[in-house]
Structure 1
Amino acid sequence: MLSIEQKRAIHHAIPMSGIDPHGRIIGQGQFRYLIDAHWGKLDPLKYPIENCHAMVMDSLGRIFMVTDNINNNILVYSQQGELLDAFGNGFPGGHAIKIVKEDEQEYLYVVDSGWIVNRHWDGYSTEQWDSPTNNVIPQAGFIAKMTLDGKLIYSIGHPQTCGAYTPDQPFRPTDIAIAPNGDLYVTDGYGSDYLLHYDKQGRYINHWGGHANTDENDNLKNTHGIEIDLRDPNQPKLMVSSRFEQCLKVFSLDGQFLEKISTNGAYIGGPVFKDDVFYAPVCWSHIDNHNAADSGFISIFDVNNNIVANLGAVQPEYSNGELQPMQSDGDVFNHVHCICVDQDDNLYVGQWNASNSYPMKLIRVC
């Protein structure tokens, strides 16, 4: 926890033009943050974005963000919000990004979810994604492994090419996790809702999930995000969001179901681990029996996988061990889609469907 002097130093060190107009602090308990809403703002004519879909930090502390604007799919920031690099035009559905270190070199994995701007758009349709005249339409997605400056190493395409899917099964992947041995785990959250397992060379091993299992714990519904939980070094686990079930599911690395973590009221994305806690973006709150617009927030979980704080939402409450329904307070975020955590536990937050907004920074003050 920061001292009074450190908190004062934070307030004096940041230009007031870069902070929420009211200098607002959000959060609860030991997780409270000052909003810097202008941290990532750039000239939209030079560096346009549609959505901030994912962020990750490399070993030098640089923050890589993937967008779905093909003028600059990848934006690279310093922690002070300075633009360091911008590149890439091959990911019209850019959706997830991870960094892995192999020997002494770091590599990017970028996931394209298959959504693409429709050149036959009728000029007004934006909701019917299965319509040939909608603004955004689906195609097959893919995964690319690249160097940090954007040179392609290899790509993984539709699983029909390895016999895992039939040609009629859609493949629109949403996230990727990399195990300590280099194996890859890919969530097909906008396609057929399977979790696919590949080796480090991108060779198919197996898959599980989908919607038709006898045990509903094995099902995945809009499986949006995934990460490896390494908090127990003797038993690495996969933590996977089943977003439309409002929960996270925990599996062994070979696909055995272990645990379900309720996120009652929250359509939650994949976890971001830091030390013993993890953070998860919430795209929507469940309000009036549906996923409500402009109702995103951030949940923070402790070592026991209980939610201990919400940023931009009501404080989490448990009754007899059961999480009570959560929802946004409605005035901080639109749809939180990604989170990056730095060495000082500050958060960098990107959003989907938020009027082309650039990422913001949440500065931890206690």
Structure 2
Amino acid sequence: MKKCLNYITVAVVFSVTVSLSAAEKVAPVRMGSGIMTFDTVPGWGFDEQGRSVLGPTHGGVVIDKAGNIYTSAKIGVVVFAPDGKVVRRFLGDEYSNIHDMEIREEADGEFIYGARNANAEGIKFNAETGEMILKMPFPKESGLDLKKFAPTAITVAPNGDIILSDGYASNYIFKFDKNGKYKSHFGKKGNGLKEFNTAHGMTLDTRYDPPRLLICDRNHMPKGRLLHYDLDGNFIEEVITGLGMPTSVSIQGDYVSVPDLHGRLVILDKTNTIVAVLGNNEDPKTHRNFNVPQDQWREGIFSGTHGSYWDKDGNLYVQDWNVSGRLMKLVRVK
């Protein structure tokens, strides 16, 4: 069932500018509501000088079965332990500018799937060693004549099929088999019910049996929306509208976290009703703004929310689209 909403504002206890030299002195901020209430962890992931180690971020977040947090940045993929210490890095041209990631446990290990818009490909690599397993450029076998290929989202079906959204170009969504062989495509660019105007984010919606695709139609007019499609590319329903600019989706149990580029994150329940809004930024100068340097960050206030992921305890890790590289840990209040 489709749901509509007006922008919701939540009261944040207080906000404070991050100090580069004394991030540990910044007090946590509580946000959200009900069972979806969280406290920020000031300075999480910073180096000893209180600075972000990431550099520019325009990517996603995933977590492996050991609890390590992977986030993608311009420099590559940086892996953190839950305490914010860096565990390892995958740097260089092969790993740079991954716009979206998915992680999947398979028979021979855990693997990261990535969508690289600037490099016009989908990829798969080993989450522990970084060994590159697959690269999926534009599939010429599709018969399409595209001037540009810029994938923004990737997910994997239960049978291993890889689904890659060309969200910054044609808005076709491509389906490959587990070996990277092209199978089919669906969708097209537009503002119609079954069209995409920036199919920006996507995941496998495991709240349903069988699972289905949950797709962020970021720039659909008049306001962004989420859609359900089956794994064969058939339209099911418009899930919710009026979300601003939804960038990605992450599932845990019955709940979905949806970052909005306007500087907020909404959480939906199993009925796709909004149950909490986190980090709401009402300042038009700093929301949907990449160029907010670290010395202007405000604790508990987001700027360009782009990626998120849940850990096993229900905590959230949230990445901002940001020139200095912002990744935040939100601890769920029990």
- The answer to whether the superposition gives a TM-score over 0.5 is yes
C-alpha displacement at 1:48, in angstroms? 4.4
1:78-157 counterparts in 2 under 5 A? 78-90=81-93, 91-114=95-118, 140-148=119-127, 149-157=129-137
The residue number in structure 1 matching 2:38 is 33
Q: Which amino acid aligns with 1:150?
A: G
Question: In structure 1, what is the Cα distance between the partners aligned to 2:242 and 2:254?
Answer: 22
Question: In structure 2, what is the Cα distance between the partners aligned to 1:49 and 1:109?
Answer: 21
Deviation above 6 Å: which 4+ runs of structure 1?
43-46
> Conserved in 2, the CA contact under 8 Å of 1:100 and 1:108?
yes
Q: Which of 203, 206, 221 in structure 2 is aligned with 1:227?
A: 203
Q: Indicate whether 1:243 and 2:218 are aligned.
A: yes
Question: In structure 2, what is the Cα distance between the partners aligned to 1:228 and 1:185?
Answer: 10
User: Which shifted more, 235-244 or 89-98?
Assistant: 89-98
C-alpha displacement at 1:357, in angstroms? 3.1
Question: In structure 1, what is the Cα distance between the partners aligned to 2:185 and 2:166?
Answer: 10
Question: In structure 1, what is the Cα distance between the partners aligned to 2:111 and 2:198?
Answer: 27
Question: In structure 2, what is the Cα distance between the partners aligned to 1:229 and 1:152?
Answer: 26
SS in 2 for 1:162: helix
> Conserved in 1, the CA contact under 8 Å of 2:45 and 2:53?
no
Question: In structure 2, what is the Cα distance between the partners aligned to 1:352 and 1:46?
Answer: 13
The 1:241–1:46 alpha-carbon spacing in structure 2 relative to 1, beyond 3 Å, is closer
Q: Which amino acid aligns with 1:236?
A: P
Q: Indicate whether 1:297 and 2:258 are aligned.
A: no
The residue number in structure 2 matching 1:335 is 304
Query: Relative contact order (alpha carbons < 8 A, sep ≥ 6): 1 or 2 greater?
Result: 2
C-alpha displacement at 1:247, in angstroms? 0.1
> Conserved in 2, the CA contact under 8 Å of 1:68 and 1:95?
no
Q: Which of 344, 347, 358 in structure 1 is aligned with 2:313?
A: 344
C-alpha displacement at 1:102, in angstroms? 1.7
Alignment gaps of 5+ in structure 2: 1-21, 282-286, 289-297
Question: In structure 2, what is the Cα distance between the partners aligned to 1:311 and 1:211?
Answer: 30
Q: Which amino acid aligns with 1:205?
A: K
C-alpha displacement at 1:29, in angstroms? 2.1
Aligned residue-pair number: 292
The 1:222–1:78 alpha-carbon spacing in structure 2 relative to 1, beyond 3 Å, is same
Q: Which amino acid aligns with 1:88?
A: L
> Conserved in 2, the CA contact under 8 Å of 1:297 and 1:333?
yes
RMSD: 2.4
Question: In structure 1, what is the Cα distance between the partners aligned to 2:35 and 2:330?
Answer: 14
Question: In structure 2, what is the Cα distance between the partners aligned to 1:349 and 1:227?
Answer: 16
Alignment gaps of 5+ in structure 1: 1-16, 115-139, 285-295, 315-326
The residue number in structure 2 matching 1:163 is 142
The residue number in structure 2 matching 1:118 is none
User: Which shifted more, 343-352 or 254-263?
Assistant: 254-263
C-alpha displacement at 1:22, in angstroms? 4.0
Question: In structure 2, what is the Cα distance between the partners aligned to 1:67 and 1:186?
Answer: 19
SS in 1 for 2:193: helix
Question: In structure 2, what is the Cα distance between the partners aligned to 1:217 and 1:239?
Answer: 15
Question: In structure 1, what is the Cα distance between the partners aligned to 2:158 and 2:269?
Answer: 23
C-alpha displacement at 1:104, in angstroms? 4.0
Q: Which amino acid aligns with 1:162?
A: E
Identical positions, percent: 28
Q: Indicate whether 1:363 and 2:325 are aligned.
A: no
Question: In structure 1, what is the Cα distance between the partners aligned to 2:46 and 2:135?
Answer: 31
Deviations 1:202-261 (A, max 9, x none): 111111111259xx221011111111112223x211100000021001001111111112
